[in-house]
Structure 1
Amino acid sequence: METIWLACCACEAYPQIQREIAARSPQAKIMRVDGAASLATVVLAFAQAETEVGVAVAASGARVLEALEALPRDTPVCQVIALCPETDAALAARLFQAGATEVIAGARALPDDSEEEERAETERVAGAPARPRACDEEAFGAPHGDMRMASPPEEAVAEAVPRALAGAGSFADDLDEPERTGVAEPVVAEVIPRRGHATRCEDVPSTEESAPAAPLVTLISGRGGCGKTTLAGAMALRASARGLRCALIDLDLMFGNLYALLGVEEPRDAAPLAAAVSLGALTEGELVRASMRVGPGLTLWGPVQAPEQAELMGPVVDELIPLLRREADLIIVDTSVTWTDAVAASVAACDRCLVVGDDRVGATAAAERAIDLAARIGVSRTKMVSVFNRCSSREGAEDAAARFEFTTALGMKARIDEGGSDLPGLAAVGRLDRVLAQPGAFQASVCALTDTLLGELGCVGAADDAPAAPAEPRVRIRLPWKRGGGWEP
């Protein structure tokens, strides 16, 4: 029986370590683990099953040494290969003392430290072929490209390894992916080149060409304070509760607060995405690091921490929306009153444009101007929906709603009832989800609007209360739909 190899390495180092293993065991089965602790735990699991394994570790010398020293002694490890970029004889001696049977020094293709990675990104801008940066190993459970996971030969090993990985932090199991057995799924998208390069975001090949693109719903208004942000968050919560993977984007980039309404305790800055796009590519790791996990199936991006960086986000939205169309089931975008390039890009790409207004003075005229601007950038009126917010039983409220709908003159109309005195307080402390969980006029009207849009856009039947699921499971990049999107260096 061929030896099972454990590869402990970053994503970009995997092809090199795979070649080294193949040169020694052409038919070897390879299982990748994501750190020293996981490597030690998996080796111990195979040892308990009396299965012989080989170990290959690729990283900077200090990390290789850490991984080898963490290996449990008296375990059936037949070979231990250490690959590191350093050519230090003292380091090599320490690696052999730690249990390495072979040391490959001067492996320059391996990532050394964060400075080396940044230097590689800079060199790529100068004309070198684009290649993916190392994945965020805390968000992804498998490297880019084709890989082989170990198929343990005995039933005992098949039971021991999943238990060991679960205890050591197996991140792939935390994803909202359909249950799978057998060979691990490859990651679909590695790098999304920026516009103007030979390969554009839309041209990245997908293994599921027939998978429908996620519809995009954008909310606009002509003036602030009409409740558009609250409505966007509430609709996203409803969509995720219906079983959809909902990507929520806050394009009120300067002063947006969707993360606060949704209870995100550690907001993430979206500005690094602009730096990534300016360097020529938007990678999965950067996308995950900028994301915020709200709840199962709901992930948020935006705003930027420094308001002056908002003007840099136009190219980011150009890249982000096509990527999320392939990986999400629904995209909801909240916008600012001021139409930046990013806002205009989201409006132009939308499948439904919700024009939100209320009964305050000037709201109807502002909504008219927003409709006219959306029409001038190519959004047909058949895609627009008139949404009158804070509809109540107060005297004159019905007349105000009727005037708003008559003036905007859109074929699709909706009214959102007032949320009552509890809504501002709960939203202020990040418990908008609790508002959606309480039966009431606001909850009923938000659910009715969201369900109607989902039905029209083909996401889920409007009258179907069961969680939605794709007809055919899609192979997706590993966005943090279920686990946290935060990243710690």
Structure 2
Amino acid sequence: MGAIWMVACASEGYPAIAREVRALDAGARLVCVPGVAEAWELARELHDEEVVLAVAVSDADEVGLEEKIATWRSFAEPPRIVAFADAAKPGLVSRLLYEGASEVITVGEMGGNAPKPAVRMEGDPSRGDGGSVPHRDDTRCDRYEDEEELDARLRYEVRTAQWADLDEPGEGTGREAPSEHDRVPDEPPQRLPEVPAGEGAHRAPVVTVVSGRGGVGRTTLVAAMACFAARCGLRTAVLDLDLMFGDLHRLLGVEEPRDLGMLAGGEGGGVLSDALVEESAMRVGPGLTLWGPAAAPECVELLGRPCEQLIEVLRGLADVIFIDTPVSWGDAAAAAVAVCDRCLVVSSLGATSCPSASHVAELATRLGVPRTRMMGVVNRLGGHGVSEEVALRQELALSLGMRARVADGGDEVASMLSFGQMDDLIAGEGAFARDVRALASGMLRELGCPVGADAAGSEDTAVRPRLRLPWGRRAGTRAGDVR
């Protein structure tokens, strides 16, 4: 049994919001109202009920957004507020949380052709759920909802194995199948729009690696996992978003990195051109291509939007994308965290390792990454100061369902990395290489990427944009040399 959800939105946006409310609260009782003020007036009459205000917001409708925020700020004792946004923009999310929303959930274009899988952003934990209330069917207002239609639309955006259970409601989804009571026969469901061939057919998963402090081996793990993915036959894109001080290219053996700052000088009304994507790419090895960092510090603040666009382009070109982030996040790193399919929170030795890892996980949550997509990684296990006890303490502090441990590589890893021999290192039989292979292979399979025996019999039938990126050409050549 759940709360009464006052859904303040237009009728065309109601199905998408109602579906996400049901995912959060299976027993929710929904009431659709035209605006925030009307929802508040009705909520004040329900003294003994738990009421949640669900508000549809849009970054494009700036006037409407300000009016809604001003309305709920005027409430003397506001209920729990959950904002449903049409885009996971860090600026919009931060504003809504600052203004009092306890959570922000993105549902794509509400009422559009193909809603995206929801992304949940939690605010202040002190604004938690209240007590439950008895279930009363007479308050249900689901006349716009058609679960089968919504699930069919959602499958256009599905790109990883972890979403496969969404095929049929009620089977492994945590959602109840729609009952006859939830439907109104005299309102037939709308027909789904025709989807052009190839659209949405391929979306590479994004793996973003974060840490709350430096020196924990985050960059080394990114390089090692990327090399392993490329050895498995996957087209692997790597982004070094430590734009000012990144040295991922050195670990991968690239002597002369290309400046990612050239993306900030693109033309065409802010649209990232194919030529810039190709020009900024660096070929590391067969199937492995690198972007970043920036050469000039003054252009770093201009790269937020270009990096966001680059990730979107690469999702249609690569099989998997690995992203290294700095300790201090700018717009580019925040955008990479917000769109990731797996967020690896890396910790290691240090008195502040536990609180810093917990803090960065909380920041990722506020940007929209649910904790079910996070994995805690204890690095350098067995090395100086990183015992089993320390690892267990860090895992308990993070309290994540997915956990991994990577053994300390010692002098062997340090020596091979100094010569850019990461590919040889990951192919070896040391404890570090074995742990990285186990971590990466399991994660890639969960994300729907063919690995090992799975890769041998797989056929890539997805239609991809025809950019000439250096997946297989020799080192030193440029994108324009490929025919």
* TM-score interval (norm. to shorter): 0.5 to 0.7
2:456 counterpart of 1:464: no
Q: Deviations over 1:117-136 (max 9, x none)?
A: xxxxxxxxxxxxxxxxxxxx
Q: For residue 412 of structure 2, what is the aligned residue in structure 1?
A: 422
2:304 counterpart of 1:341: no
Q: Give the number of equivalent residue pairs.
A: 284
Q: Deviations over 1:170-226 (max 9, x none)?
A: xxxxxxxxxxxxxxxxxxxxxxxxxxxxxxxxxxx9752252300000000000110
Structure 2 counterpart of 1:299, which letter? T
2:246 counterpart of 1:263: no
Q: For residue 471 of structure 2, what is the aligned residue in structure 1?
A: 481
Q: For residue 222 of structure 2, what is the aligned residue in structure 1?
A: 232
* Structural mapping, 1:278-427, within 5 Å: 279-392=269-382, 397-427=387-417
2:233 counterpart of 1:250: no
Q: Deviations over 1:128-165 (max 9, x none)?
A: xxxxxxxxxxxxxxxxxxxxxxxxxxxxxxxxxxxxxx
Q: Distance in 1 between matches of 2:461 and 2:231?
A: 20
* Secondary structure of the structure 2 residue equivalent to 1:247: strand
* Secondary structure of the structure 2 residue equivalent to 1:264: coil
Structure 2 counterpart of 1:352, which letter? R
The alpha carbon displacement at 1:469 in A equals 4.3
Structure 2 counterpart of 1:229, which letter? T
* Secondary structure of the structure 2 residue equivalent to 1:371: helix
Tell me if structure 1 keeps the 8 A contact 2:240–2:291: yes
Larger radius of gyration: 1
2:435 counterpart of 1:445: yes
Tell me if structure 1 keeps the 8 A contact 2:349–2:385: no
Tell me if structure 1 keeps the 8 A contact 2:383–2:408: no
Q: State, as a whole percentage, how many aligned pairs show the same letter.
A: 46
Tell me if structure 1 keeps the 8 A contact 2:380–2:386: no
Q: Distance in 2 between matches of 1:354 and 1:277?
A: 34
Structure 2 counterpart of 1:270, which letter? L
Structure 1 pair 255/393, CA: closer, same or farther in 2 (3 Å)? Answer: closer
Tell me if structure 2 keeps the 8 A contact 1:240–1:246: yes
| TM-score, length-scaled by structure 2 | 0.56
Q: Distance in 2 between matches of 1:475 and 1:488?
A: 18
Tell me if structure 2 keeps the 8 A contact 1:242–1:467: no
Q: Distance in 2 between matches of 1:206 and 1:234?
A: 37
Structure 2 counterpart of 1:486, which letter? R
Q: Distance in 1 between matches of 2:422 and 2:279?
A: 24
Q: Distance in 1 between matches of 2:405 and 2:397?
A: 15
* Secondary structure of the structure 1 residue equivalent to 2:469: coil
Q: Deviations over 1:406-429 (max 9, x none)?
A: 000000000011112121122122
Q: Distance in 2 between matches of 1:263 and 1:274?
A: 26
Runs of 4+ that moved beyond 4 A = 393-396, 465-469
Tell me if structure 2 keeps the 8 A contact 1:246–1:299: yes
Q: Distance in 2 between matches of 1:468 and 1:346?
A: 31
Tell me if structure 1 keeps the 8 A contact 2:470–2:479: no
Structure 1 pair 393/254, CA: closer, same or farther in 2 (3 Å)? Answer: closer
The alpha carbon displacement at 1:488 in A equals 8.8
2:180 counterpart of 1:211: no
Q: Distance in 2 between matches of 1:206 and 1:486?
A: 33
Tell me if structure 2 keeps the 8 A contact 1:242–1:465: no
The alpha carbon displacement at 1:487 in A equals 6.0
| TM-score, length-scaled by structure 1 | 0.55
Gaps of 5+ in 2: 1-194
The alpha carbon displacement at 1:278 in A equals 7.4
Structure 1 counterpart of 2:365, which letter? A
2:262 to 272, 275, 293: 272
* Structural mapping, 1:22-101, within 5 Å: none
Structure 1 residues 222-231 or 264-273, which shifts more?
Answer: 264-273
Tell me if structure 2 keeps the 8 A contact 1:277–1:316: no
Q: Distance in 1 between matches of 2:268 and 2:214?
A: 31
Q: Deviations over 1:40-99 (max 9, x none)?
A: xxxxxxxxxxxxxxxxxxxxxxxxxxxxxxxxxxxxxxxxxxxxxxxxxxxxxxxxxxxx
The alpha carbon displacement at 1:397 in A equals 0.4
Q: Distance in 1 between matches of 2:300 and 2:196?
A: 31
Structure 1 residues 444-453 or 388-397, which shifts more?
Answer: 388-397
* Secondary structure of the structure 2 residue equivalent to 1:442: helix
Structure 1 pair 306/395, CA: closer, same or farther in 2 (3 Å)? Answer: closer
Q: Distance in 1 between matches of 2:268 and 2:240?
A: 21
The alpha carbon displacement at 1:468 in A equals 7.0
The alpha carbon displacement at 1:336 in A equals 0.2
Q: Distance in 2 between matches of 1:216 and 1:206?
A: 24
CA RMSD of aligned residues (A): 2.1
* Structural mapping, 1:91-130, within 5 Å: none
Q: Distance in 2 between matches of 1:338 and 1:280?
A: 25
* Secondary structure of the structure 1 residue equivalent to 2:275: helix
The alpha carbon displacement at 1:466 in A equals 4.6
Tell me if structure 2 keeps the 8 A contact 1:255–1:307: no
